[in-house]
Amino acid sequence: MTSLTRRIRRTAAVAVALAAGSALTVTGTATAQPGQHSGKASGSTVESAPLVKGLYQSAYSERNHVLWATSSVGRPPVTNSSLLKVDPRTLKVKASYTPPTTDAGTGAVEAVYGVAVDDEHNTVWTTNTRDNSVAVYDQRTGKHLASLPGVNHAREVVVDTRHNLAWASSFGDGTVVAFDTRTFKEKKRVTVEGSSPAGLAVNERTGATYAADLAGDQIIEITPKSESPRLIPTGDGPISVALSKDGRTAYTADQAAGGLSVVDLAKGTVTKSVATGAGALSVATDRRSGRVLVANRTPGNVTVVDPVKGAVVETLTTGANPNHVGVAGGTAYVVDKSGTGPEGQDQAHRIRLGR
């Protein structure tokens, strides 16, 4: 197979009407790297649409076939924040829910940033970074169910449906906190002095939870039976973490290094380091293919990595400042902070991943 670089472009617009008169457009460019096979189904495509200003993260609900997204604008007092219910096919906002007010005088609300879904209990969990808390919402109605304090600069949240736990990273004090997804009560709190836990991943089979420690260049592993966390070295500035389908390998998006680290969890060693792009910020695994996606903030793209070969196989142009990537059923969802919509909105992107 030739090693020449192949470009797969889609230029046609998809005629789907969206809010504010905007349209879902096919904007992405997939660039195959040298050595990639060129079968008809090898290329990925990117479809994009403006949503609102201040997008941060998204999470897909298989139970409801909904994409939940968070938005918050500005610095405290934050008065413009919403939890969005998005149609994953059209990227149209179906509903928008405003978090509860925290200060009537300023109009400040409990602004939402990180997000995860619990399809077992039909809820949505958010991190409220400015308020040092996490919150729970009803997926069906959007009703705010609870605010749970004590998570200092809460950054991300992940749900372990099998063990009825929601784990949140307390970035400000080096702590990872678990809450019962049925009662909302705190169940476990693990602190690693000097650490800055950011992104989270959970192995629902074993109950092990993994946190990317931005300050310590390591992964914090918390298992149900261990009395203390295990610290596993990874790349420079890990800010996000994902797991392979079998749970034996971890992948970190290394912000400082601008790349991906492939970590053998049994051996506790980095087996491969792959350059993906400056400001690597978020990582997700496509369990269908085994490939790994990294959102790179500075170049405004998502790279698709073959972790076995340790090589980038596609580079997908999204929008400026991609902030988060997630994968569900062979489709990736990315939100950016580009501000390029007709009214200054940030964008959501749906990537149909090639094989």
Nearest residue to 283 (alpha-carbon basis) of 257, 310, 261, 300: 261
Q: Quick one: how many helices (H) and strands (E) in the chain?
A: 0, 34
pTM of full prediction above 0.85: yes
Neighbours of 332 (CB within 10 A): 24
pLDDT of residue 355: 78
State the pairing for strand pair 311-317/29-32: antiparallel
Burial level of 3, CB count in 10 A (0-12/13-18/19+)? exposed
Contacts of 202 (CB under 8 A, 6+ apart): 158, 159, 160, 165, 167, 208, 209, 210, 243
Phi, psi (degrees; rounded to nearest 5) at 303: -100, 140
Cα–Cα distance, 112 to 56 (Å, whole number):
9
Strand partners, 153: none
User: What digits encode the pLDDT tens for the residues 125-149?
Assistant: 999 999 999 999 999 999 999 999 9
pLDDT confidence of residue 18: 25
Report the distance separating Cα 143 and Cα 66, nearest Å.
16
pLDDT at 169: 98
Mean pLDDT across 298-311: 98
The whole-number average pLDDT for the span 79-95 is 98
Per-residue model confidence as pLDDT tens digits over 213-262: 999 999 999 999 988 999 999 999 999 999 999 999 999 999 999 999 99
- Residue 185 predicted with pLDDT over 90: yes
Contact 142, 128 (CB under 8 A): no
Over pLDDT 90: what percentage of the chain?
A: 86
pLDDT number for residue 38: 26
Give me the mean pLDDT over the 81-98 stretch.
Answer: 98
- 13: Cβ–Cβ under 8 A, 6 or more apart, which residues? 23, 24, 25, 26
